Amino acid sequence: MTAQNSTAAAPRTIHNARHAIASGEIKAVALAESYYATIAAGDANIHAWLALSRERALQQAARIDQMVASGAPLPLLAGAPIGIKDVLTMQGAPATAGSKILEGYLPPYDATAVARLEAAGAVLLGKLNCDEFAMGSSNENSAYGPVHNPRALDRVPGGSSGGSAAAVAANMAVATLGTDTGGSIRQPASFCGVVGLLPTYGRVSRYGLIAFASSLDRVGPFTHTVEDAAILLGVLAGHDAMDATTSLEPVPDYAAALAQPVKGLRIGIPEEYFAEGLDAEVRAAIEKAADALRAAGCTLHKVSLPHTRYAIPTYYVLATAEASANLARFDGVRYGLRAADATSLSSMYRKTRDAGFGKEVKRRILLGTYVLSAGYYDAYYRKAQQVRTLLTRDFLHAYTQVDALLTPTAPTPAFKLGEKTDDPLSMYLADIYTVTANLAGICGISVPCGNSKEGLPIGAQILGKHFDEATVLRIARAVEQAQ
Ligand code: GLN
């Protein structure tokens, strides 16, 4: 059985799940069970799930059913079955971050994003596969095996949140959480044909997120529709005393903002994002999305982000530097794996880290340690910080001329499993359109905008100003409606 066969029904959204539960059409427990049945039937081919949290999910679903029975008002996400990327903690469920080094680790607390979903009525189905410590663009770096793209099983789902994107695409969850440090929500959303939202840095709490690069990491949703992304962002966003980088900026009603027409909005087309290396079918699909926005009353403008060509090297200096520091805590003392055959403390550290980390993670720890080391810090790390400021200014300047930007999410549709695994540089280059938003701290979204001739999904990326998710969502909705 292919994924498509097991998921032939129209996808259920947060909106209609709540409606079906409120009207008594389906019980929340039955809905949760139906998702577990879909997972049992389809996940052998896809491998999106690393752990299921059945008991917790069914308890929560029963709670929702009791609320319906007693006539209590239903929370916004009542009964919505949602999956969580395995870099976020859920009390009592294993958290591996896709790594052997965290095998057996049971976090004693919920991430804020996870707790907020559950407090809003969501039914948390379990934990989703991802690249090890969220380092990758294809999910092939997971220590627990790759995820297959539900739209074409011989293709990657994208990464690092590949399980999160695939689970939504295969109707194994109504929505999921992912994280995006350099594209890990938007690129897999584009490869799997779903919506993926990158909130502004500071909009959603990172408390309980197993850190990769703390100045770049964001938590955000994968959904079937732009409306569901707006609903989830409303639940997730806002200040959290447990994450000092969260903003006090008020949280607007994102779902209500979708009702405002896009007429009159100025959309920038950054010329650097349409240069060589862009697949012709992707280019054509983005041009069609631009036409749809023009037809909806937007005006389109050429803009320039002149430092774009420095984005990949800047990202791979800063992200690896931060990763080398963040990953120092995994040494066999407090969490997960500990090498059994160590003879001293330092051999325990060495053997644990050697056995526990995969190849890509080791490569990044080495790179990150190198760029931070005495004598190289000024040449690499400090220089990259300076270029980061230039990249941010590029966006701020563009946003004096336009309200948002339209670009491809990725230069190609989903590539084949194994196609880039021997060439880390070509894998890094696939992040070319996404890493800039993380470096600049701005928000963005990937929304499906067509398929290649082979039937592979293509995503359009809309990038917005800091804390202007509402405009990004409105534009994405206009692209969605034109499909
Ligand atoms: N593909 C990028 C990397 O490998 C981005 C990963 C991410 O956003 N977590 O670092």
For the cut 60, the answer to whether the pLDDT of residue 292 exceeds it is: yes
> Ligand 1: which atom is nearest the Cα of residue 216?
8
Q: Best of 85, 135, 201 to mutate for ligand 1, by most ligand atoms within 8 A of CB? A: 135
CA distance 167 to 161: 10
Tokens at 37, concatenated: 């049945």
Mean local confidence (pLDDT), 301-325: 98
Q: Read off the pLDDT band of 349 (50, 70, 90).
A: very high
> Ligand 1: which atom is nearest the Cα of residue 431?
1
Do residues 354 and 341 lie in contact, with contact meaning Cβ atoms separated by under 8 Å? Answer: no
List of E strands, 49-185? 49-52, 81-85, 123-128, 175-179
Q: Best of 431, 433, 434, 461 to mutate for ligand 1, by most ligand atoms within 8 A of CB? A: 431
Tokens at 172, concatenated: 């194994």
List of E strands, 224-341? 266-270, 299-303
Non-local (6+) Cβ contacts of 127 within 8 A are 49, 50, 51, 52, 53, 83, 84, 85, 86, 90, 93, 94, 95, 96
> Ligand 1: which atom is nearest the Cα of residue 315?
10
pLDDT of residue 10: 67
For the cut 60, the answer to whether the pLDDT of residue 7 exceeds it is: no
Residues with CB under 6 A from ligand 1: 134-137, 160, 180-184, 212, 319, 431
Residue 142 designated active-site: no
User: How far is the centre of ligand 1, averaged over its atoms, from the C-alpha of 386 (Å)?
Assistant: 21
Q: Best of 87, 131, 314 to mutate for ligand 1, by most ligand atoms within 8 A of CB? A: 131
Provide the whole-model pTM. 0.97
User: How far is the centre of ligand 1, averaged over its atoms, from the C-alpha of 64 (Å)?
Assistant: 36
Options 161, 184, 190, 324, the catalytic residue: 184
Tell me if the bond preceding 347 is cis, omega within 30° of 0.
no
pLDDT, one tens digit per residue, over 178-224 is 999 999 999 999 999 999 999 999 999 999 999 999 999 999 999 99
Which residue matches tokens 């947060």?
A: 14
For the cut 50, the answer to whether the pLDDT of residue 165 exceeds it is: yes
Residue 85 designated active-site: yes
For the cut 90, the answer to whether the pLDDT of residue 2 exceeds it is: no
User: How far is the centre of ligand 1, averaged over its atoms, from the C-alpha of 90 (Å)?
Assistant: 22
User: How far is the centre of ligand 1, averaged over its atoms, from the C-alpha of 134 (Å)?
Assistant: 6
Mean local confidence (pLDDT), 453-467: 98
Alpha-carbon torsion (168, 40, 90, 63), positive or negative? positive
pLDDT, one tens digit per residue, over 223-274 is 999 999 999 999 999 999 999 999 999 999 999 999 999 999 999 999 999 9
Residue 184 designated active-site: yes
Q: Read off the pLDDT band of 335 (50, 70, 90).
A: confident
Q: Would you list the domain boundaries of the chain?
A: 3-257
Options 53, 160, 161, 324, the catalytic residue: 160
The end-to-end CA distance of the chain, in Å, is 28
- How much is the mean pLDDT over the chain? 96
In this structure, the residue with its CA closest to atom 10 of ligand 1 is 135
Do residues 80 and 123 lie in contact, with contact meaning Cβ atoms separated by under 8 Å? Answer: yes
CATH code for the domain defined by 3-257: 3.90.1300.10
